[in-house]
Amino acid sequence: MNLVGSFFRSSIGRKILMAVTGVILIGFVIGHLVGNLQIFSHPDHINGYAQFLHQLGPLLWVARIGLIVAVVVHIWAATVLTLENKAARGSNYGFKHTIQATLASRAMRWTGYIVLAFLIYHLAHFTLGAAQSATFKDNLKSYVLTADYRVAGFPVVNAGTKVADVYSMVILGFQSPIVAVFYIIAVGLLSLHLLHGIDSLFQTLGLRSNKWSGCLRKVAIVFCLAYFVGNLAIPGAVLAGKLSPQSAKISAPAQR
């Protein structure tokens, strides 16, 4: 088998594809969360950040296409492997028993389905404006930056630039309790997915052993909890009324 064949056709090759695309997607969700946590700062930050990302132009599309490819390969590999796994059992056991497989590992398929459904809604909501379009950034009053947005000390978006009001879009979006709760459930399940995913990818890439598997597990648990709490904070703060959109802010400046 040639190299491409061994990655796409062999069992271990497909698992390596799962692991590598998983690493890419974990990297993305970390960056995405860190970027979004700027919502707890002045609206200049997240709005300037969003403008900065859009200014990347072709680079933004390189990243987007890379992520789409990673998602597609991840789902393709998961589907093919799962179908093979079902066929490999043949007839099912009459007495079903689990010795030590974790809940997270056994729920991978279901957490995956729900995270995918959430991903589609999330893109429709915040990227495409197909869901909750009344509060989509293009339909909101634009925001004028009061200070330069800086990346690594360099101003990348200047003060006075009219930008999309992502700050208000996010807050208005999460003021719908159904959307916020769905978001919280989905990131919770994503955290559970990542708990097994992180452990699993080190094993698949051959980097896990009894010398540090306990440590790896603890790091994965702490990471997943931190990831969940970080994601919970945004809709949580909106539901608790700690964050309010621009329009409300202008009328009640004392809130900040």
Partner 1 sequence: MVAASSTKSISVTLRVWRQSGPKELGQFKDYSAKDLNPNMSFLEMLDVVNDELTARGEEPIAFAHDCREGICGTCSLTINGKPHGPGKGIATCQTYMRSFHDGDIIVVEPFRAAAFPLIKDLVVDRTSFDKIMQAGGFITARAGSAPEANGLPVPKGDADRAMDAAQCIGCGACVAACKNASAMLFVSAKVGHLGLLPQGQAERDRRVLAMVNTMDEEGFGNCTNQYECSAACPKTISHDFIARLNRDYLSASLRSAFRPEAASTGGGGA
Give the binding site for partner 1 (CB under 8 A): 1-3, 6-7, 10-16, 81, 84-85, 87-102, 105-106, 108, 196, 199-200, 202-210
Helix (H, G, I), strand (E, B) or coil at 246: helix
Cβ distance to partner 1 smaller for residue 74 or 122: 74
Identity of the residue, 79 or 247, whose beta carbon is nearer to partner 1 in the bound complex: 79
Shortest CB 77 distance to partner 1, Å: 9
Q: Dihedrals φ, ψ of 101, to 5°? A: -65, 135
Residue closer to partner 1 by CB (options 103, 151) is 103
To partner 1, the closest distance from the beta carbon of 199 in angstroms equals: 7
CB of 20 to partner 1, least distance (A): 10
Give the separation between CA 137 and CA 55, rounded to whole angstroms. 16
Surface-to-core class of residue 206, CB atoms within 10 Å of its CB (0-12 exposed, 13-18 middle, 19+ buried): exposed
Closest alpha carbon to 31 in 68, 65, 67, 71: 67
- Between 10 and 41, name the residue whose CB sits nearer to partner 1: 10
- Alpha-carbon distance of 127 to 73, in angstroms, equals 22
CB of 41 to partner 1, least distance (A): 39
